[in-house]
Amino acid sequence: MTEKKNLTTNQGAPIGDNQNSMTAGLKGPTLLEDYQLIEKLAHFDRERVPERVVHARGVGAHGKFVVKNSMKKYTMAHFLQEEGQETEVFVRFSTVIHGLHSPETLRDPRGFSVKFYTEEGNFDFVGNNLPVFFIRDAIKFPDVIHSLKPDPTTNIQDPNRYWDYFSLTPEATTMITYLFSDEGIPASYRQMRGSSVHAFKWINEEGKTVYVKLRWQPKAGIVNLSTDQASQIQAKEFNHATRDLHEAIADGNYPEWDLYVQVLDPADLDKFDFNPLDATKDWFEDVIPYELVGTMTLTGNPENIFSETESVGFNPGVLVRGMLPSEDRLLQGRLFSYSDTQRHRIGPNYLQLPVNQPKTPVANNQRDGAMPFKQQTSSINYEPNSYESEPKENAKFIEPEQEIRGDIAGRLIAEKPNNFGHAREVWKRYSEAEQKALVKNIADDWANVREEIKIRNLRNFYQVEPVFAEQVAAKTGIELDKYISDLK
């Protein structure tokens, strides 16, 4: 027979009555001395932490990653050295722009983040389903997100705002060709690819450095929704992607993704008509081939959404030995911003939470702050020190020196911006059906967009590919020739 459990206060004291407040007599006022009442209400008042500014709506899962091909020729990262090596992971998929309880049928990039609990500490993969982003410099990030967020005076997302921003930010054009394809609405998280977006550096034991991009390919295939299909689903269900992932795992239909790496020799950086470290540019597979690294399988749903999915924190700078950030300007800003978000949301000791803490021991001199439940206990909280038993730095873990050149200045990235040529390559690689879907999705989104904003965007599209602009103009009833004579 199962032993009956007592309901208790947070202090562990058994509760005799959890349904009736203490009052001064049957008709009297409630008493402040009712500790259980005060504790219960006070905690309830604080159940929510600030939602993420971006990636608020998310779903998480536990799983494992298994190496299929050793990467030791490229990186000294321990968890990628031998075929068959297994690493525990936690994954969080998310939408980007909309709030915590928004529909999962909205057009939006999807976040694709994986925390690897490796034997040398944590490694965070922090990417999106789409292979590029709107901007190439982190200083622009608040602006592009503000344009996509609801209008601060109406609290309604307004296409006039983000299309106005896009029209004046030509570097966003390639992202538009991806986001307004049907891939802008994935059918499910199980059928969604992932990309690091940024290039990183991998360094092997000999000190050789290469640039890499990482790609996740779903074994279930990539499946997207048309706007009509999304509308039909949203009329009945706005949690469809979360439900799909949770039920698949619960039923033992474990989702899988293959991880691929693209490798670029630093000596080849200048051989392209664009900067390969620019986050608005893709590395096409037919130009820089994919190499299989391994397979990730998701096998467990969270036991508690708040303590796992909502409390997990990622940062693209959380890397292990043999990995370094590249010089990508957008990436460089994210190295600060992502962890700073979690310090604000969850607290300075968010890395002590089980979902965030590494499986390896942590030994440093960081102490205190709010809620340090994994407090280090040594009385020696400074370094250097003369105590033999205390942890010391180890020179063998110093990364090889990396060359850097240039003058300090705040300046436009003017070298090979190629704002439209890269989008042209995306357009050319689309099938006729994909091109038609892109045109339709843009035209539909322009229903209430101001004429002058449409024209500015059409001028950008014309520089991508004249037929692209012509088709969008025809769909929206605009006489394109009146506005592009100077571009011919």
The residue type at 420:
F
Same domain flag for 261 and 302 = yes
Q: Is 415 exposed, middle or buried (0-12, 13-18, 19+ CB in 10 A)?
A: exposed
Task: Tell me what pLDDT residue 206 has.
Answer: 94
Asked whether residue 303 is assigned to any structural domain, the reply reads yes
Domain end (from 333, 359, 385): 359
Maximal C-alpha separation, the chain: 87
Active-site choice (10, 18, 43, 55): 55
Same domain flag for 42 and 64 = no
Same domain flag for 12 and 156 = no
Handedness of CA 391, 392, 393, 397 (dihedral sign): negative
What CA–CA distance (Å, rounded) separates 43 from 271?
59
Name which of 115, 117, 114, 139 is nearest 128 in CA terms. Answer: 114
Task: Tell me what pLDDT residue 327 has.
Answer: 92
Mean pLDDT confidence for 34-59: 91
What CA–CA distance (Å, rounded) separates 152 from 406?
40
Indicate if the pLDDT at residue 202 is higher than 70.
yes
The residue type at 190:
R
Asked whether residue 395 is assigned to any structural domain, the reply reads no
Same domain flag for 42 and 75 = no
Task: Tell me what pLDDT residue 85 has.
Answer: 98
Task: Tell me what pLDDT residue 395 has.
Answer: 83
Report which secondary-structure segment, H or E, holds 91: strand 86-95
Domain end (from 309, 344, 359): 359
- Which domain range does residue 118 map to? 58-359
Same domain flag for 228 and 205 = yes
Domain end (from 315, 343, 359): 359
Asked whether residue 234 is assigned to any structural domain, the reply reads yes
Give the pLDDT confidence of 452-485 residue by residue, as tens digits: 999 999 999 999 999 999 999 999 999 999 999 9
Q: How many CA atoms lie within 13 A of 356 on its CB side?
A: 22
Residue pair 229/437 in contact (Cβ under 8 Å)? The answer is: no
- Count of all residues that appear for the chain in the document: 488
Same domain flag for 41 and 142 = no
Indicate if the pLDDT at residue 406 is higher than 80.
no
Residues whose CB falls within 8 Å of the CB of residue 75, separated by 6 or more in sequence, listed in order = 202, 203, 204, 322, 323
Task: Tell me what pLDDT residue 400 has.
Answer: 78
Asked whether residue 24 is assigned to any structural domain, the reply reads yes
Query: 383 falls in which pLDDT band (50, 70, 90)?
Result: confident
Q: What does the DSSP assignment read for 277-312?
A: T-TT----TTTS--EEEEEEEEEE--S-TIIIIIT-
Token representation of residue 115 = 């925390």
Same domain flag for 273 and 128 = yes
Query: 204 falls in which pLDDT band (50, 70, 90)?
Result: very high
**98 in catalytic set:** no
Give the pLDDT confidence of 89-128 residue by residue, as tens digits: 999 999 999 999 999 999 999 999 999 999 999 999 999 9
Asked whether residue 99 is assigned to any structural domain, the reply reads yes
Number of domains into which the chain is organized: 3
Residues whose CB falls within 8 Å of the CB of residue 139, separated by 6 or more in sequence, listed in order = 333
Residue pair 329/413 in contact (Cβ under 8 Å)? The answer is: yes
Task: Tell me what pLDDT residue 414 has.
Answer: 60
Residue pair 82/76 in contact (Cβ under 8 Å)? The answer is: no
Same domain flag for 155 and 248 = yes
Query: 405 falls in which pLDDT band (50, 70, 90)?
Result: low
Active-site choice (98, 122, 128, 224): 128
Q: Tell me how many degrees the CA angle 377-379-384 measures, rounded to the nearest 5.
A: 115
Asked whether residue 9 is assigned to any structural domain, the reply reads yes
Give the pLDDT confidence of 355-377 residue by residue, as tens digits: 999 999 888 878 888 888 888 88
Asked whether residue 66 is assigned to any structural domain, the reply reads yes
Name which of 144, 296, 111 is nearest 217 in CA terms. Answer: 296
The residue type at 435:
Q
Write the CATH number for 27: 4.10.91.20
Q: What is the number of other CB atoms lying within 10 angstroms of the CB of residue 131?
A: 23
Residue pair 277/125 in contact (Cβ under 8 Å)? The answer is: no
List alpha helices for 289-397, DSSP H.
Answer: 329-345
First vs last C-alpha separation in the chain: 84
Indicate if the pLDDT at residue 1 is higher than 90.
no
Same domain flag for 189 and 335 = yes
Task: Tell me what pLDDT residue 413 has.
Answer: 63
Same domain flag for 285 and 143 = yes
Asked whether residue 368 is assigned to any structural domain, the reply reads no
Residue pair 240/233 in contact (Cβ under 8 Å)? The answer is: yes
Same domain flag for 36 and 143 = no
Name which of 353, 347, 387, 352 is nearest 369 in CA terms. Answer: 347
Residue pair 133/178 in contact (Cβ under 8 Å)? The answer is: no
**18 in catalytic set:** no
What CA–CA distance (Å, rounded) separates 385 from 105?
56
Q: What is the number of other CB atoms lying within 10 angstroms of the CB of residue 306?
A: 11
Task: Tell me what pLDDT residue 331 has.
Answer: 95
Give the pLDDT confidence of 276-288 residue by residue, as tens digits: 999 999 999 999 9
Crossing angle of the two packed helices 159-167 and 141-148, in degrees rounded to 10:
140
Same domain flag for 40 and 76 = no
Indicate if the pLDDT at residue 296 is higher than 80.
yes
Name which of 212, 422, 177 is nearest 323 in CA terms. Answer: 212
Per the prediction, the chain carries an average pLDDT of 94
Task: Tell me what pLDDT residue 407 has.
Answer: 60
Report which secondary-structure segment, H or E, holds 325: strand 323-325
The region of weakest confidence among 2-11, 13-22, 204-213, 262-271 is 2-11
Q: Scanning the structure block, which residue is given the tokens 């709010």? A: 370
Residue pair 209/199 in contact (Cβ under 8 Å)? The answer is: no
